[in-house]
Structure 1
Amino acid sequence: MASTRYALIAGAAATALLATACSGAGAGGSSGGGKSINVLMVGNPQMEDIAKLTKDNFTEDTGIKVNFTILPENELRDKVTQDIATQAGQYDVATIGAYEVPIWEKNGWLHDLGSYADKDTGFDKADLLKPMVQSLTGSDGKLYALPFYGESSMLMYNKDVMKAKGITVPERPTWQQIADIAAEVDGAEPGMKGICLRGLAGWGELGAPLTSMVNTFGGTWFTEDWKAQVNSGGFKEATKFYVDLVREHGEAGAPQAGFTECLNALSQKKVAMWYDATSAAGSLEDPASSKIAGNVGYAYAPTVKTDSSGWLWAWSWAMPKTTKNADAASKFMLWASSKKYENLVGEKLGWSRVPAGKRASTYEIPEYKKAAASFGDITLKSIEGADPANPGVQPRPTVGIQYVAIPEFQDLGTKVTQEISAAIAGKTSVDKALDDGQKLAEEVAKTYQK
């Protein structure tokens, strides 16, 4: 698969910096001062919003034309890895996350963006939430990406369904409680399933909620001394729980369901609950696209053995070193992550749709506080409480809650989740999927055990 090929490119380049960007690898900008830039971004609602607002606002004000390429999450990861790792130079700006930043920074693939932010007096870098800044900072202490929106994870549910069934969802539920509720509300309305959990293969798709579950079940991908744990202990227990829950009470077509599909499933009353990113709340509360707007309940990420289990992520703007339009690209990124842009979204599209989770000041805006009254506090506390260094019950060899911060994880996580997705589809067993995954993880571990 393409994802495997590009992940191998990134992994190899992580240990040996690729050659300097090829001359002539233009980024699509015009020859007249970089008045046109190419932006590659994931196809989440917040990105679709900025694509709609850019022309009449940013371009109108600056004269800089922005050409957007919007892709589903897995395709985005493949494309951005290919472009940046091979130094192709097709894009001036790309959305990446906390996983990529420290790895790609060490390879010299990214521009330092902190210096641009410091020079922009209106940007207010000090207002960015500390967990977001820390996750996007390189080993040299410089900021290599600007957060567009930040997120942890939480449980979201249809309050009307719970009320009709006489169910009170705990604010801090356990996974067993959620499984019991899913069984009870399965079929509560015609065609409605109990819960949506991602079943689409991908280290950042199925791998994100599953790994957060593995942590709280007491499992880990690797021990502190790099012993693979994929087919044992809490990893196996969590995976069997996850697969059984999806197969028994999960969404239709689960092996093809990622973030977008689950968002649609809950908002269109096809499922009663969903565990996923806190950033989904804004879309769920938008009456223009959600049938349950105003009737959504929120709870902290379910736990088993840990006090919390929410992940930490920021879809962020990064600038490849290959760009020939650094000035124009930096102006776009600063605008896209600014207070001014958040207010623009609130005024034009509705305050629930503000790309939040990155600035402390967002949670003090009266209009946003009102729109986010049901989910804002849980979101902020989940982000602030996430601990990438200690997400489970045992020491880890690297940081990361829903991922392992090594270059090889992009390939490893994708291959293992492909097997687990097949188990959800009934094409293999969980034991076989994890035994195969253990072999792959052991090969990765050898590199670090040496």
Structure 2
Amino acid sequence: MKRMNPAHTALVGLGLLLGADAAGAATLTIGTVNNGDMVRMQSLAKVYEEQHPDVKLNWLVLDENTLRQRLTTDITTGGGQFDIITIGAYEAPMWGRQKWLMPLEGFSPQYDVDDLMPNVRKQLSIEGRLYALPFYSEGSITYYRTDLFAAKGLSMPAEPTWKEIRGFAEKLHDPAHGVYGICLRGKAGWGENMAIITTIVNAFGGRWFDEKWEPQLDTPEWHQAVNFYVDLLSTFGPPGPSSNGFNENLTLFNAGKCAMWVDASVAGSFVTDKTQSLVPDKVGFAKAPRAVTEKGSSWLWTWALAVPSSSRQKEAAFAFIQWATSKEYGQLVAKHHGISAMPPGTRVSTYENAEYLQNTPFAQVTREAIQTANPDSPTLKPVPYTGVQFATIPEFQAIGSMVGRQISGALAGFSRVDKVLHTSQGAVRRTMHRAGYYDENEAPGAQR
């Protein structure tokens, strides 16, 4: 009978090696989103398997909305289906506090945890302890076609306003030749259309809740912002915009069909990739548009890798997520896909790399978007929550998804914005009452 060394015995006792086959191989089930960088990770992870023959990787790659539903169900029930999950700055601190995630400590010396960008690391931590490692991070920025702007004698400001964006969209909209003035997310989802809509609301001076947790959807700021969004996208956007999320708009932009696109800065490496884009050398970059304020006009998001507490392969899972978020992995991406394809927004050293800065035209605007976003003070008026394009409370996933469906319906022409916002206000208020934020019998805005 094969003797187990004491360390191995201890790991078995902790449940870290349960599920391994007789040969000691660990099969890690990874739930991730179908964004380009994650698809790239899945391909490059073959290198990891070659280096670690005792580890097998089982991938479940889903669209953003479906992934969130599956992961939330599994993590809240302790289902143990996944060993590694792709989550963000919304889930990491809340799930960490619930002890649903493994706290991350004891990093390998090569990992250099202090190289992680402070603003990003903070979003994934509780009292300084990390609960997820950033795979890539993003702000929202404005992409525009430099050739189309030049042909019309237009000049994109470094810091555009939404009013200017609408004016450009009107001049550049040319559906007869397959070019639409602007592309924006319209697909329903708290992380899909509500990401861009919330930043527009922020820019117009709005907020999700006031200081007493009273919903603010039926306010002049929300009405102005959402009516502006629906009119802009309905008038100067592509057909059927309510079906388009990040990936659909990326496809449209790379096909040369969008004169402008306001979305995640992570798309920079794809719109400038000659193997994917028809207009790789005709793209300009500017800050996300502002309106009455620039506070909260650019979102801050991190797609990160975490290990559920329910995993039976914690040691092997922790080792893999260190590799997938390491400097070594970044160099592997650069080797196979070019230096500008390195995962953006996570490491200080990336933005100290002269070669990266020289070959990555979107690097500076990405770094500025991430560094200037302030989740602790995301709006013009004070709020009781943290988060720029979301509120970091458990109820927001359901609230944001519900409001996203309502606004997507208005974009598709099924309802009026003013009616949607009035209805959503009541629905959100009922949700907050049931969750114990206040007494529903109190009049809105009453002292509490």
TM beyond 0.5? yes
SS in 2 for 1:227: coil
Task: Show the 5 A alignment for 1:153-164.
Answer: 153-164=140-151
8 Å Cα contact 1:27/1:90 also seen in 2: no
The code of the aligned residue for 1:291 comes to L
Task: Show the 5 A alignment for 1:371-382.
Answer: 371-372=359-360, 374-382=361-369
Residue equivalent to 1:362? 350
8 Å Cα contact 2:82/2:308 also seen in 1: yes
Task: Show the 5 A alignment for 1:222-371.
Answer: 222-308=209-295, 309-371=297-359
Once the 2 structures are TM-superposed, how far is the Cα of residue 392 of structure 1 from its aligned partner? 1.3
Residue equivalent to 2:80? 89
Q: Structure 1 stretch 85-94 or stretch 32-41: which is displaced more?
A: 32-41
Q: Which of structure 1's runs of 4+ aligned residues deviate more than 4 A?
A: 26-29
Give unpaired runs (5+ residues) of structure 1: 1-22
Residue equivalent to 2:50? 60
8 Å Cα contact 1:285/1:292 also seen in 2: yes
Query: Which of the residues 114, 118, 126 maps onto 1:130?
Result: 118
Q: Distance in 2 between matches of 1:350 and 1:434?
A: 45
The answer to whether the aligner puts 1:36 opposite 2:27 as a matched pair is: yes
8 Å Cα contact 2:145/2:260 also seen in 1: yes
Residue equivalent to 1:5? none
Once the 2 structures are TM-superposed, how far is the Cα of residue 270 of structure 1 from its aligned partner? 1.2
Q: Distance in 1 between matches of 2:183 and 2:28?
A: 37
Residue equivalent to 1:143? 130
Q: Distance in 1 between matches of 2:20 and 2:129?
A: 26
Once the 2 structures are TM-superposed, how far is the Cα of residue 28 of structure 1 from its aligned partner? 6.8
Once the 2 structures are TM-superposed, how far is the Cα of residue 102 of structure 1 from its aligned partner? 1.5
SS in 2 for 1:58: helix
The code of the aligned residue for 1:47 comes to M
Once the 2 structures are TM-superposed, how far is the Cα of residue 329 of structure 1 from its aligned partner? 0.5
The code of the aligned residue for 1:192 comes to V
Residue equivalent to 1:7? none
Provide Cα deviations, 1:77-115, integer angstroms capped at 9, x if missing partner: 1111111111111110010000001111121100011x1
Residue equivalent to 1:186? 173
SS in 2 for 1:152: strand
Q: CA RMSD in A?
A: 1.8
8 Å Cα contact 1:202/1:417 also seen in 2: yes
8 Å Cα contact 1:150/1:279 also seen in 2: yes
8 Å Cα contact 2:19/2:313 also seen in 1: no
Once the 2 structures are TM-superposed, how far is the Cα of residue 225 of structure 1 from its aligned partner? 1.0
Q: Distance in 2 between matches of 1:109 and 1:350?
A: 37
The answer to whether the aligner puts 1:387 opposite 2:374 as a matched pair is: yes
Q: Percent identity?
A: 39
SS in 1 for 2:129: coil
Q: Structure 1 stretch 32-41 or stretch 407-416: which is displaced more?
A: 32-41
Provide Cα deviations, 1:28-55, integer angstroms capped at 9, x if missing partner: 7545445221111011110011111111
Distance 1:423 1:289, change over 3 A: same
Distance 1:188 1:250, change over 3 A: closer
The code of the aligned residue for 2:206 comes to G
Select the structure of larger CA radius of gyration.
2
The code of the aligned residue for 1:333 comes to I
Once the 2 structures are TM-superposed, how far is the Cα of residue 305 of structure 1 from its aligned partner? 1.8
8 Å Cα contact 2:144/2:261 also seen in 1: yes
Query: Which of the residues 31, 35, 38 maps onto 1:47?
Result: 38
The code of the aligned residue for 1:449 comes to Y
Once the 2 structures are TM-superposed, how far is the Cα of residue 233 of structure 1 from its aligned partner? 2.0
The code of the aligned residue for 1:310 comes to S
8 Å Cα contact 1:29/1:37 also seen in 2: no
Q: Distance in 2 between matches of 1:179 and 1:314?
A: 29
**TM value normalised by structure 1:** 0.91
SS in 1 for 2:216: coil
SS in 2 for 1:400: coil
SS in 2 for 1:328: helix
Query: Which of the residues 50, 67, 70 maps onto 1:76?
Result: 67
Once the 2 structures are TM-superposed, how far is the Cα of residue 222 of structure 1 from its aligned partner? 0.5
8 Å Cα contact 1:97/1:314 also seen in 2: yes
**TM value normalised by structure 2:** 0.91
The answer to whether the aligner puts 1:397 opposite 2:384 as a matched pair is: yes
Residue equivalent to 1:18? none
Q: Distance in 1 between matches of 2:324 and 2:294?
A: 34
8 Å Cα contact 2:141/2:264 also seen in 1: yes
The code of the aligned residue for 1:39 comes to I
Residue equivalent to 1:170? 157
Provide Cα deviations, 1:241-289, integer angstroms capped at 9, x if missing partner: 1111110001222111000001111111111110010111011111100
SS in 2 for 1:449: coil
Q: Distance in 2 between matches of 1:346 and 1:189?
A: 39
The code of the aligned residue for 2:342 comes to V
8 Å Cα contact 2:135/2:343 also seen in 1: yes
Residue equivalent to 1:449? 438
Provide Cα deviations, 1:105-154, integer angstroms capped at 9, x if missing partner: 121100011x143xx1000011000011100002x431000000010100
8 Å Cα contact 1:27/1:91 also seen in 2: no
The code of the aligned residue for 1:311 comes to W
Q: Distance in 1 between matches of 2:20 and 2:342?
A: 29
Once the 2 structures are TM-superposed, how far is the Cα of residue 192 of structure 1 from its aligned partner? 1.1
8 Å Cα contact 1:34/1:328 also seen in 2: no
Distance 1:71 1:116, change over 3 A: farther
